[in-house]
Protein backbone atom coordinates (compact mmCIF):
# COMPACT_ATOMS: atom_id res chain seq x y z
CA UNK A 1 0.00 0.00 0.00
CA UNK A 2 1.11 3.55 -0.69
CA UNK A 3 -0.23 6.81 0.69
CA UNK A 4 -0.96 8.94 -2.35
CA UNK A 5 -2.03 12.13 -0.61
CA UNK A 6 -2.39 13.62 2.88
CA UNK A 7 -4.86 16.37 3.79
CA UNK A 8 -4.78 18.16 7.16
CA UNK A 9 -7.25 20.73 8.46
CA UNK A 10 -8.29 22.50 11.66
CA UNK A 11 -11.84 22.53 13.05
CA UNK A 12 -13.34 24.16 16.17
CA UNK A 13 -14.40 22.00 19.13
CA UNK A 14 -15.17 25.01 21.28
CA UNK A 15 -17.72 25.46 24.07
CA UNK A 16 -18.62 27.89 26.85
CA UNK A 17 -17.49 25.68 29.73
CA UNK A 18 -14.35 25.99 31.84
CA UNK A 19 -12.29 23.86 34.19
CA UNK A 20 -10.05 25.18 36.99
CA UNK A 21 -7.34 26.13 34.48
CA UNK A 22 -8.76 27.02 31.05
CA UNK A 23 -11.95 27.86 29.21
CA UNK A 24 -12.76 26.14 25.94
CA UNK A 25 -13.91 29.18 23.91
CA UNK A 26 -11.02 28.84 21.44
CA UNK A 27 -10.46 25.07 21.58
CA UNK A 28 -9.78 23.51 18.20
CA UNK A 29 -8.44 20.31 16.71
CA UNK A 30 -6.33 19.02 13.83
CA UNK A 31 -8.02 16.50 11.54
CA UNK A 32 -6.27 14.45 8.89
CA UNK A 33 -7.09 12.21 5.92
CA UNK A 34 -4.47 9.86 4.44
CA UNK A 35 -5.61 8.66 1.02
CA UNK A 36 -4.12 5.33 -0.08
CA UNK A 37 -3.78 3.62 -3.44
CA UNK A 38 -5.86 0.63 -2.24
CA UNK A 39 -9.28 0.69 -3.90
CA UNK A 40 -12.24 -1.09 -2.30
CA UNK A 41 -15.69 -0.96 -3.95
CA UNK A 42 -14.37 1.60 -6.42
CA UNK A 43 -13.14 4.00 -3.70
CA UNK A 44 -9.66 4.52 -2.26
CA UNK A 45 -9.18 3.48 1.36
CA UNK A 46 -8.70 6.57 3.53
CA UNK A 47 -7.28 6.68 7.07
CA UNK A 48 -8.56 9.38 9.42
CA UNK A 49 -6.99 10.93 12.52
CA UNK A 50 -7.57 13.80 14.95
CA UNK A 51 -5.95 15.09 18.11
CA UNK A 52 -8.32 14.47 21.02
CA UNK A 53 -9.07 17.64 23.05
CA UNK A 54 -7.38 19.90 25.54
CA UNK A 55 -4.39 20.90 23.39
CA UNK A 56 -4.89 23.18 20.43
CA UNK A 57 -4.39 22.11 16.82
CA UNK A 58 -0.94 20.96 15.72
CA UNK A 59 -1.65 21.41 12.01
CA UNK A 60 1.44 23.54 11.30
CA UNK A 61 3.88 21.02 12.83
CA UNK A 62 2.13 18.26 10.95
CA UNK A 63 2.25 20.10 7.61
CA UNK A 64 5.80 21.39 7.97
CA UNK A 65 7.61 18.39 9.46
CA UNK A 66 5.68 15.11 9.83
CA UNK A 67 3.85 14.88 6.50
CA UNK A 68 6.82 16.00 4.33
CA UNK A 69 8.94 13.23 5.90
CA UNK A 70 6.25 10.64 5.19
CA UNK A 71 5.89 11.89 1.60
CA UNK A 72 9.64 11.71 1.04
CA UNK A 73 10.01 8.21 2.52
CA UNK A 74 10.80 5.26 0.28
CA UNK A 75 7.82 2.89 0.14
CA UNK A 76 9.81 0.06 1.72
CA UNK A 77 10.38 2.15 4.86
CA UNK A 78 6.64 2.26 5.60
CA UNK A 79 5.84 -1.46 5.41
CA UNK A 80 6.50 -4.46 7.63
CA UNK A 81 8.04 -7.81 6.72
CA UNK A 82 4.67 -8.99 5.33
CA UNK A 83 4.43 -6.00 3.01
CA UNK A 84 1.65 -4.42 5.12
CA UNK A 85 1.50 -0.75 6.11
CA UNK A 86 3.41 -0.43 9.40
CA UNK A 87 2.38 2.49 11.64
CA UNK A 88 5.38 1.71 13.86
CA UNK A 89 7.89 2.08 10.99
CA UNK A 90 6.12 5.21 9.75
CA UNK A 91 6.51 6.59 13.29
CA UNK A 92 10.30 6.26 13.01
CA UNK A 93 10.20 8.11 9.68
CA UNK A 94 8.19 10.98 11.19
CA UNK A 95 10.60 11.33 14.12
CA UNK A 96 13.76 11.41 12.02
CA UNK A 97 15.87 14.50 12.88
CA UNK A 98 13.84 15.23 16.03
CA UNK A 99 15.95 15.56 19.19
CA UNK A 100 14.83 13.74 22.34
CA UNK A 101 13.24 15.54 25.29
CA UNK A 102 11.08 18.68 25.42
CA UNK A 103 8.23 16.83 23.78
CA UNK A 104 6.00 19.88 23.51
CA UNK A 105 3.14 19.56 21.06
CA UNK A 106 5.08 17.66 18.44
CA UNK A 107 3.57 14.61 20.18
CA UNK A 108 0.11 15.86 19.18
CA UNK A 109 1.08 16.14 15.50
CA UNK A 110 2.64 12.67 15.45
CA UNK A 111 -0.36 11.29 17.37
CA UNK A 112 -2.77 12.49 14.67
CA UNK A 113 -0.78 10.78 11.91
CA UNK A 114 -0.25 7.63 13.97
CA UNK A 115 -4.03 7.41 14.49
CA UNK A 116 -4.75 7.80 10.77
CA UNK A 117 -2.12 5.17 9.91
CA UNK A 118 -3.71 2.70 12.34
CA UNK A 119 -7.14 3.46 10.86
CA UNK A 120 -5.75 2.76 7.40
CA UNK A 121 -3.91 -0.43 8.42
CA UNK A 122 -7.05 -1.87 10.03
CA UNK A 123 -9.21 -0.88 7.04
CA UNK A 124 -6.73 -2.54 4.66
CA UNK A 125 -7.09 -5.72 6.74
CA UNK A 126 -10.89 -5.27 6.65
CA UNK A 127 -11.26 -5.40 10.44
CA UNK A 128 -12.19 -3.03 13.28
CA UNK A 129 -9.14 -1.46 14.90
CA UNK A 130 -9.51 -3.38 18.19
CA UNK A 131 -9.20 -6.61 16.20
CA UNK A 132 -6.13 -5.36 14.28
CA UNK A 133 -4.41 -4.23 17.52
CA UNK A 134 -5.28 -7.50 19.23
CA UNK A 135 -3.93 -9.53 16.29
CA UNK A 136 -0.67 -7.54 16.11
CA UNK A 137 0.06 -6.62 19.72
CA UNK A 138 -2.55 -8.25 21.93
CA UNK A 139 -2.29 -10.91 24.56
CA UNK A 140 -5.39 -13.08 24.21
CA UNK A 141 -8.88 -12.18 23.02
CA UNK A 142 -9.88 -8.50 23.18
CA UNK A 143 -12.47 -7.38 25.72
CA UNK A 144 -16.00 -7.35 24.25
CA UNK A 145 -16.78 -4.01 25.87
CA UNK A 146 -15.06 -1.34 27.93
CA UNK A 147 -15.82 0.48 31.19
CA UNK A 148 -16.59 4.14 30.48
CA UNK A 149 -17.33 6.98 32.86
CA UNK A 150 -19.15 10.21 32.07
CA UNK A 151 -16.96 13.30 32.41
CA UNK A 152 -18.64 16.66 32.87
CA UNK A 153 -19.46 18.81 35.85
CA UNK A 154 -17.67 21.79 34.32
CA UNK A 155 -18.05 25.33 35.50
CA UNK A 156 -20.21 27.40 33.16
CA UNK A 157 -21.74 30.89 33.30
CA UNK A 158 -24.94 30.82 35.38
CA UNK A 159 -24.71 27.08 36.13
CA UNK A 160 -26.47 26.29 39.43
CA UNK A 161 -26.15 23.34 41.81
CA UNK A 162 -29.45 22.05 40.48
CA UNK A 163 -28.10 22.29 36.90
CA UNK A 164 -25.07 20.25 38.01
CA UNK A 165 -27.29 17.63 39.61
CA UNK A 166 -29.49 17.47 36.49
CA UNK A 167 -26.40 17.00 34.34
CA UNK A 168 -25.29 14.07 36.50
CA UNK A 169 -28.78 12.52 36.51
CA UNK A 170 -28.67 12.73 32.71
CA UNK A 171 -25.43 10.72 32.68
CA UNK A 172 -27.00 8.01 34.86
CA UNK A 173 -30.10 7.93 32.64
CA UNK A 174 -27.82 7.49 29.62
CA UNK A 175 -26.38 4.29 31.15
CA UNK A 176 -23.26 5.52 32.97
CA UNK A 177 -22.62 4.45 36.56
CA UNK A 178 -19.50 6.52 37.37
CA UNK A 179 -19.32 10.28 36.78
CA UNK A 180 -16.66 12.99 36.95
CA UNK A 181 -16.85 16.66 37.85
CA UNK A 182 -14.44 19.59 37.94
CA UNK A 183 -13.18 21.12 41.17
CA UNK A 184 -10.63 23.83 41.95
CA UNK A 185 -12.44 26.53 39.96
CA UNK A 186 -14.25 27.74 43.10
CA UNK A 187 -13.24 27.90 46.78
CA UNK A 188 -13.15 24.82 48.99
CA UNK A 189 -16.47 25.53 50.72
CA UNK A 190 -18.31 25.91 47.41
CA UNK A 191 -16.60 22.89 45.84
CA UNK A 192 -17.56 20.75 48.86
CA UNK A 193 -21.18 21.81 48.37
CA UNK A 194 -20.93 20.85 44.68
CA UNK A 195 -19.32 17.50 45.52
CA UNK A 196 -21.90 16.66 48.18
CA UNK A 197 -24.82 17.51 45.97
CA UNK A 198 -23.47 15.19 43.24
CA UNK A 199 -22.82 12.39 45.76
CA UNK A 200 -26.46 12.79 46.79
CA UNK A 201 -27.52 12.08 43.17
CA UNK A 202 -25.31 8.95 43.37
CA UNK A 203 -27.36 7.63 46.31
CA UNK A 204 -24.71 8.76 48.76
CA UNK A 205 -21.99 6.61 47.15
CA UNK A 206 -18.79 8.69 46.78
CA UNK A 207 -16.98 5.77 45.14
CA UNK A 208 -19.02 6.55 41.99
CA UNK A 209 -17.55 10.07 41.67
CA UNK A 210 -14.23 11.35 40.34
CA UNK A 211 -13.05 14.93 40.83
CA UNK A 212 -10.62 16.71 38.47
CA UNK A 213 -8.46 19.72 39.37
CA UNK A 214 -6.79 20.10 35.95
CA UNK A 215 -3.41 20.71 37.54
CA UNK A 216 -4.39 23.88 39.41
CA UNK A 217 -3.37 23.29 43.04
CA UNK A 218 -0.12 24.08 44.80
CA UNK A 219 0.95 21.57 47.45
CA UNK A 220 -0.79 23.33 50.33
CA UNK A 221 -4.13 23.47 48.53
CA UNK A 222 -3.74 19.90 47.23
CA UNK A 223 -3.33 18.65 50.80
CA UNK A 224 -6.09 20.88 52.17
CA UNK A 225 -8.62 19.61 49.61
CA UNK A 226 -7.26 16.07 50.11
CA UNK A 227 -7.96 16.23 53.86
CA UNK A 228 -11.46 17.52 53.17
CA UNK A 229 -12.45 14.93 50.54
CA UNK A 230 -10.70 11.73 51.72
CA UNK A 231 -13.80 10.94 53.83
CA UNK A 232 -15.98 10.57 50.69
CA UNK A 233 -13.98 7.58 49.37
CA UNK A 234 -14.05 9.01 45.83
CA UNK A 235 -13.26 6.90 42.76
CA UNK A 236 -10.27 9.22 42.17
CA UNK A 237 -8.76 12.68 42.81
CA UNK A 238 -7.39 13.78 39.40
CA UNK A 239 -4.44 15.84 38.14
CA UNK A 240 -4.19 17.67 41.42
CA UNK A 241 -1.02 19.68 40.83
CA UNK A 242 1.04 20.66 37.82
CA UNK A 243 1.37 17.52 35.67
CA UNK A 244 5.19 17.73 35.76
CA UNK A 245 5.42 18.33 39.53
CA UNK A 246 6.21 14.75 40.50
CA UNK A 247 7.29 15.82 43.99
CA UNK A 248 3.89 17.36 44.71
CA UNK A 249 2.17 14.19 43.55
CA UNK A 250 4.46 12.02 45.68
CA UNK A 251 3.74 14.04 48.81
CA UNK A 252 0.02 13.97 48.07
CA UNK A 253 0.09 10.19 47.69
CA UNK A 254 1.66 9.88 51.16
CA UNK A 255 -1.16 11.91 52.66
CA UNK A 256 -4.26 11.05 50.63
CA UNK A 257 -5.51 7.49 51.11
CA UNK A 258 -7.94 7.06 48.22
CA UNK A 259 -7.01 6.69 44.54
CA UNK A 260 -5.24 9.43 42.58
CA UNK A 261 -5.29 9.70 38.77
CA UNK A 262 -3.04 11.70 36.49
CA UNK A 263 -1.16 11.64 33.19
CA UNK A 264 -3.39 13.35 30.60
CA UNK A 265 -0.72 16.03 30.12
CA UNK A 266 2.24 13.64 29.95
CA UNK A 267 3.04 13.12 26.30
CA UNK A 268 5.91 10.67 26.12
CA UNK A 269 7.30 7.43 27.49
CA UNK A 270 9.97 9.43 29.31
CA UNK A 271 7.48 11.73 31.08
CA UNK A 272 5.27 8.79 32.06
CA UNK A 273 8.32 6.95 33.38
CA UNK A 274 9.28 9.93 35.50
CA UNK A 275 5.78 9.94 36.97
CA UNK A 276 6.22 6.28 37.93
CA UNK A 277 9.77 6.80 39.23
CA UNK A 278 9.21 10.00 41.16
CA UNK A 279 5.47 10.69 41.47
CA UNK A 280 4.63 8.24 44.25
CA UNK A 281 1.89 6.61 42.18
CA UNK A 282 0.60 3.43 43.85
CA UNK A 283 0.04 0.42 41.54
CA UNK A 284 -2.55 -1.08 43.89
CA UNK A 285 -4.98 1.84 43.59
CA UNK A 286 -3.97 4.74 41.34
CA UNK A 287 -4.75 5.38 37.66
CA UNK A 288 -2.70 6.50 34.64
CA UNK A 289 -4.54 8.70 32.13
CA UNK A 290 -2.03 9.14 29.28
CA UNK A 291 -4.09 9.87 26.12
CA UNK A 292 -2.64 7.98 23.11
CA UNK A 293 -3.91 10.63 20.68
CA UNK A 294 -2.05 13.48 22.42
CA UNK A 295 1.13 11.55 23.10
CA UNK A 296 2.65 10.25 19.86
CA UNK A 297 -0.11 7.73 19.15
CA UNK A 298 -0.51 4.04 19.83
CA UNK A 299 3.11 3.37 18.84
CA UNK A 300 4.34 5.33 21.89
CA UNK A 301 1.44 4.21 24.09
CA UNK A 302 2.56 0.60 23.73
CA UNK A 303 5.96 1.64 25.08
CA UNK A 304 4.22 3.30 28.02
CA UNK A 305 2.32 0.08 28.74
CA UNK A 306 5.56 -1.94 28.56
CA UNK A 307 7.25 0.49 30.97
CA UNK A 308 4.31 0.23 33.37
CA UNK A 309 4.44 -3.57 33.25
CA UNK A 310 8.17 -3.46 34.06
CA UNK A 311 7.31 -1.43 37.14
CA UNK A 312 4.64 -3.89 38.23
CA UNK A 313 1.60 -2.04 36.91
CA UNK A 314 -1.40 -3.81 35.35
CA UNK A 315 -2.81 -2.38 32.12
CA UNK A 316 -6.15 -2.34 34.00
CA UNK A 317 -4.91 0.71 35.91
CA UNK A 318 -4.83 2.72 32.66
CA UNK A 319 -7.94 4.73 31.79
CA UNK A 320 -7.01 7.18 29.00
CA UNK A 321 -8.15 10.78 28.90
CA UNK A 322 -10.00 12.05 25.86
CA UNK A 323 -13.31 10.23 25.46
CA UNK A 324 -12.69 9.20 21.87
CA UNK A 325 -13.20 6.20 19.65
CA UNK A 326 -9.44 5.60 19.09
CA UNK A 327 -8.74 4.90 22.78
CA UNK A 328 -11.91 2.83 23.01
CA UNK A 329 -10.44 0.33 20.53
CA UNK A 330 -7.08 0.41 22.32
CA UNK A 331 -8.77 -0.21 25.68
CA UNK A 332 -10.66 -3.25 24.34
CA UNK A 333 -7.64 -4.74 22.56
CA UNK A 334 -4.98 -4.13 25.21
CA UNK A 335 -7.24 -4.77 28.22
CA UNK A 336 -7.08 -1.36 29.78
CA UNK A 337 -9.19 -0.47 32.79
CA UNK A 338 -11.57 1.68 30.77
CA UNK A 339 -11.92 4.89 28.81
CA UNK A 340 -13.24 8.38 29.39
CA UNK A 341 -16.45 9.67 27.80
CA UNK A 342 -17.83 13.22 27.55
CA UNK A 343 -21.47 12.84 26.57
CA UNK A 344 -22.26 15.68 24.20
CA UNK A 345 -18.99 17.65 24.57
CA UNK A 346 -16.08 18.27 22.19
CA UNK A 347 -18.19 17.65 19.13
CA UNK A 348 -17.89 16.63 16.37
CA UNK A 349 -14.66 14.74 17.16
CA UNK A 350 -15.42 13.44 20.66
CA UNK A 351 -17.34 10.38 21.71
CA UNK A 352 -18.14 7.09 20.10
CA UNK A 353 -20.12 6.02 17.02
CA UNK A 354 -23.63 7.45 16.72
CA UNK A 355 -25.19 4.05 17.41
CA UNK A 356 -23.08 3.28 20.50
CA UNK A 357 -25.17 2.30 23.53
CA UNK A 358 -23.88 2.60 27.09
CA UNK A 359 -25.11 -0.31 29.18
CA UNK A 360 -24.30 -0.47 32.90
CA UNK A 361 -21.35 1.84 32.32
CA UNK A 362 -19.83 -0.18 29.48
CA UNK A 363 -19.68 0.28 25.69
CA UNK A 364 -18.38 -1.77 22.75
CA UNK A 365 -16.14 -0.20 20.06
CA UNK A 366 -18.36 -1.49 17.23
CA UNK A 367 -17.45 -3.46 14.14
CA UNK A 368 -16.93 -0.88 11.40
CA UNK A 369 -13.53 -1.33 9.72
CA UNK A 370 -10.76 0.79 11.27
CA UNK A 371 -11.60 3.25 14.02
CA UNK A 372 -15.15 3.59 12.72
CA UNK A 373 -15.28 7.38 12.38
CA UNK A 374 -17.56 6.78 9.39
CA UNK A 375 -20.12 5.90 12.09
CA UNK A 376 -20.04 9.47 13.43
CA UNK A 377 -22.08 11.28 10.78
CA UNK A 378 -21.19 14.91 11.61
CA UNK A 379 -17.52 14.18 12.07
CA UNK A 380 -17.37 12.04 8.94
CA UNK A 381 -18.74 14.99 6.94
CA UNK A 382 -15.82 17.15 8.12
CA UNK A 383 -13.30 14.38 7.41
CA UNK A 384 -14.68 13.72 3.94
CA UNK A 385 -14.48 17.43 3.22
CA UNK A 386 -10.70 17.21 3.58
CA UNK A 387 -10.22 15.01 0.53
CA UNK A 388 -13.36 15.76 -1.52
O1 LIG B 1 -11.18 19.73 31.09
C2 LIG B 1 -10.38 19.10 30.38
O3 LIG B 1 -9.39 19.63 29.83
C4 LIG B 1 -10.56 17.63 30.18
C5 LIG B 1 -10.03 16.84 31.29
O6 LIG B 1 -9.29 17.28 32.14
C7 LIG B 1 -10.42 15.45 31.40
O8 LIG B 1 -11.11 14.97 30.54
O9 LIG B 1 -10.02 14.80 32.36
MG1 LIG C 1 -8.60 15.70 33.48
Task: List Cβ<8 Å contacts ≥24 apart for 184-191.
Answer: 184/19, 184/20, 184/213, 184/214, 184/216, 184/217, 184/221, 184/225, 185/18, 185/19, 185/20, 185/155, 185/216, 186/155, 188/224, 188/225, 188/228, 191/225
Residue 1: pLDDT band with limits 50, 70, 90: confident
Name the pLDDT band for 359 (thresholds 50, 70, 90). very high
Give the nearest ligand 1 atom to 322 CA.
Answer: 8
The residues pairing with 238 across neighbouring beta strands, listed in sequence order, are 212, 261
Tell me if residue 182 is catalytic: yes
How far CA 198 is from CA of 57, 194, 303, 318, 372, in Å, comes to: 33, 6, 37, 25, 34
Query: What digits encode the pLDDT tens for the residues 70-119?
Result: 999 999 999 999 999 999 999 999 999 999 999 989 999 999 999 999 99
Judge residue 207's burial from the number of C-beta atoms within 10 Å of its C-beta, 0-12 exposed, 13-18 middle, 19 or more buried: middle
Q: How many CB atoms lie within 10 A of CB 42?
A: 5
Residues with CB in 5 Å of ion ligand 2: 212, 264
Quick one: average pLDDT of 181-210? Answer: 98
Q: Is 19 touching ligand 1 by the criterion CB < 6 Å?
A: yes
344 pLDDT exceeds 90? no
Percent of the chain with pLDDT strictly greater than 70: 100
The verdict on whether residue 214 carries a ligand-binding annotation is no
* Cβ contact 195:167 at 8 Å: no
Q: Annotated catalytic, 321? A: yes
In angstroms, the CA 54 to CA 151 distance is: 14
Write the secondary structure of 206-231 as one string of H (helix), E (strand) and C (coil).
Answer: HHHEEEECCCCCCHHHHHHHHHHHHH
- Say if ligand 1 is within 6 A of residue 321 CB: yes
Gap between the Cα atoms of 81 and 86, Å rounded? 9
Burial of 220 (0-12, 13-18, 19+ CB in 10 A): exposed
The protein residue whose alpha carbon is closest to atom 9 in ligand 1 is 321
Best residue among 321, 342, 345 to mutate for probing ligand 1's pocket (most ligand atoms within 8 Å of CB) is 321
Interval 42-77: pLDDT, tens: 999 999 999 999 999 999 999 999 999 999 999 999
pLDDT at residue 15 is higher than 90? no
CA distance 2 to 137: 23
Domains of the chain with bracketed CATH:
3-126 (3.30.390.10), 137-384 (3.20.20.120)
The number of C-alpha atoms within 13 Å of 180 and in the hemisphere containing its C-beta is 27
Nearest alpha carbon to residue 49 among 85, 83, 93, 87: 87
CB hemisphere CA count around 189 (13 angstroms): 0
Q: Are 230 and 254 in contact (CB under 8 A)?
A: no
Query: 128: helix, coil or strand?
Result: strand
**Residue 97, pLDDT score:** 96
Q: What is the mean pLDDT of residues 343-361?
A: 96
Q: Is-above-0.95 flag for pTM?
A: yes
pLDDT score at 388: 81
- Reply yes or no on whether the pLDDT at 16 is more than 90: no
Report the pLDDT value the prediction gives residue 83, as an integer from 0 to 100. 93
Give the pLDDT confidence score for residue 130 in this predicted structure: 98
Amino acid sequence: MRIVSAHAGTIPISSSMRNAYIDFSKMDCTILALVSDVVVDGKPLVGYGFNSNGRYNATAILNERMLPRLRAAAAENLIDENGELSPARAWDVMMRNEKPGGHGERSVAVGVVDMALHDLAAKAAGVPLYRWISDHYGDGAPDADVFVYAAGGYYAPGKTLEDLRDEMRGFLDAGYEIVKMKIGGADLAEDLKRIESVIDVLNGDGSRLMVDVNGKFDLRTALEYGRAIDQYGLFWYEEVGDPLDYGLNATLSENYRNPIATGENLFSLQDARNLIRYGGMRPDRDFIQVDPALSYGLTEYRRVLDMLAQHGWSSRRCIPHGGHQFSLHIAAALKLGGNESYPGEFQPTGGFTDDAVITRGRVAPGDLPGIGLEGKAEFHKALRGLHG
